[in-house]
Amino acid sequence: MTERSERDNDLQTPLGMLCATLFAPRIDDEEIDVVEIPEESAVEIQADDWTLRLQGDPLTLAFVAIEDEPEGADALAHALRTALTPDELEGLGTLNERLDGTLAARLRSSGDALSATLAAILTSSTTS
């Protein structure tokens, strides 16, 4: 069994498996981890500079955290585009599409300005 298939077998939820599929190249490069937290019904997509938390089945809560979050609201989009690569943003955009827009909706309703900004990026015409 390969290292990747062993990791995939650790994922038990459809959301965790979907995230692992969408980010497979970044997981293989050891730049992203997909971690399930069963006791909290949560999945986290973790990178060095950012983490996206997805909670509930169906998805009821989503928020993002980045390593260097700016103070001012005007700098949030730039900070996100700096922390996440274009491929990572594309992967999150695809995840949002596969979840029929629920990811962006939950990011917007989180009450967190950074998460709402990510929602706007994901639903804009381009993510790169």
Q: What is the largest CA-CA distance in the chain?
A: 48
Q: State which H helix or E strand residue 46 sits in.
A: strand 42-47
Return the pLDDT at 116: 97
| For range 2-29, the mean pLDDT | 79
pTM of the model: 0.88
| For range 115-126, the mean pLDDT | 89
The values of phi and psi at residue 111, to 5°, are 85, 5
Q: Spell out the alpha helix ranges (H) of the chain.
A: 3-10, 14-22, 24-28, 76-83, 86-98, 102-108, 113-123
Rounded Cα–Cα distance for residues 36 and 13 (Å): 8
Least confident window among 2-16, 48-62, 95-109 = 2-16
Give the start-to-end residue ranges of the domains of the chain: 3-122
pLDDT in tens, 74-103: 899 999 999 999 999 999 999 999 999 999
